[in-house]
Structure 1
């Protein structure tokens, strides 16, 4: 089993929670890949540099100044701090972006109603997973920042949930894959105000009912869309749950929301 694990939300910003998560992640047996976010840190650094963050429908508008900031913060500051912390707990991690080894080529999102700027869209069929397999076979753990490239020298800001889903799909041709989205909630919640209102199982029909009832928050919708995309493209299992449950979610016991 290959575990493709995305961590984000407030976990990255909480030193104690992050340290606990990284210790649990390091303890996972067998091959694993980590994908991380870091949007709040990028916003904070951007503010310090006088570069304002702009969002539309929860998505960051990435102009020329912003792509420089997110490349520095995601690919540098956050990525290398995570790699260093993993090395400290015995996990031989290697920091990556989609440009490294040309693993995730992407295309700049076409301008339609909204110009998202330097944002990358991924075609999963174009991923180059050979280098990842070689790293995993060598006992290395790739740690991906949410950045891709256009193969013409331009870095692109790309949603970390999407990168996780795309990697899981591409690698499912070679491994049995469990994709896990870790954040600060216990799973997909029926009531956003009740942390214990976890929906343990979601399939397409249940998802349609939840959308009709309008009980899901905007932040969880991209995770669910990516989850269903992964399941329908060969990934065996997708879990959405709390970062503190990552160890149980890699040893057989399911805590959180299972997508099937």
Structure 2
């Protein structure tokens, strides 16, 4: 079975031009067909502050009202997505920037049934992903670059967690490819002490994750990241890693296992 790498890159990397350039250098060295999924929450938060739009978060997830959705679409699907595509073309790596609405690739449903109203936040399922067009792009050696925007097939755009998009894409494509899913951000991996890069956890099981979550070692935005990563492992994804963006082509990082 053909190998496929799905890489998710975090907002603190895409917001820093030099860090993003270094990541792109490493990303383009990967030989196998690959997909890039990006966030951009820091840029969205900065623009919200400049526009006096309140920022609302719950357990590392953004609550998205109408104005916040406008910002998310502009930042994620616009500025960041096209910046990344332009940098990939420079190498050259033929890339296509996409939201979930494009080609109806990632339909979603507006989140409901929760105690907190998350607003225009989309939830997605692997069996709803339109893998046909993704495979066509990969067959043509085009790199799909997905922003964290989906749609409800009724004309409404939705903000969707980029970690979740990467995980669900991996599960949806696992029937056709041997998948390696890697989450890249500004830390060397999952840490016992978030201020100490030397406290890297090289291997993490789901039980150990639960322990560290319960005692507060793992908190905030790292919780949904690991939740989605372990969900992918439970759905038969071959390998899942958490790494620093500069270590993409190395073995340095946290490997997850059930």
- Shorter chain as denominator, the TM-score bin is over 0.9
- Partner residue, 1:251: none
- Partner residue, 1:256: 253
* Post-superposition offset of 1:38: 0.6
My pick for the range that moved more, 203-212 or 221-230, is 203-212
- Partner residue, 1:84: 86
Counterparts of 1:35 and 1:115, CA distance in 2: 26
What pairs with 1:1-260 in structure 2 (closer than 5 Å)?
A: 1-248=3-250, 254-260=251-257
User: Which 5+ residue runs of structure 1 have no aligned equivalent?
Assistant: 249-253
* Post-superposition offset of 1:111: 5.0
* C-alpha contact (below 8 Å) 1:6/1:160 kept by paired residues: yes
Counterparts of 1:31 and 1:231, CA distance in 2: 20
Report how many residues are paired: 255
Q: Show CA shifts across 1:122-153 (max 9, x none).
A: 11111111100000000000000001100000
Counterparts of 1:93 and 1:30, CA distance in 2: 14
User: Which 5+ residue runs of structure 2 have no aligned equivalent?
Assistant: none
Q: TM-score, normalised by structure 1?
A: 0.94
* C-alpha contact (below 8 Å) 2:60/2:223 kept by paired residues: no
* C-alpha contact (below 8 Å) 1:119/1:157 kept by paired residues: yes
My pick for the range that moved more, 26-35 or 215-224, is 215-224
Counterparts of 1:50 and 1:219, CA distance in 2: 23
Q: Show CA shifts across 1:90-116 (max 9, x none).
A: 111100011111111000001532111
* C-alpha contact (below 8 Å) 2:56/2:62 kept by paired residues: yes
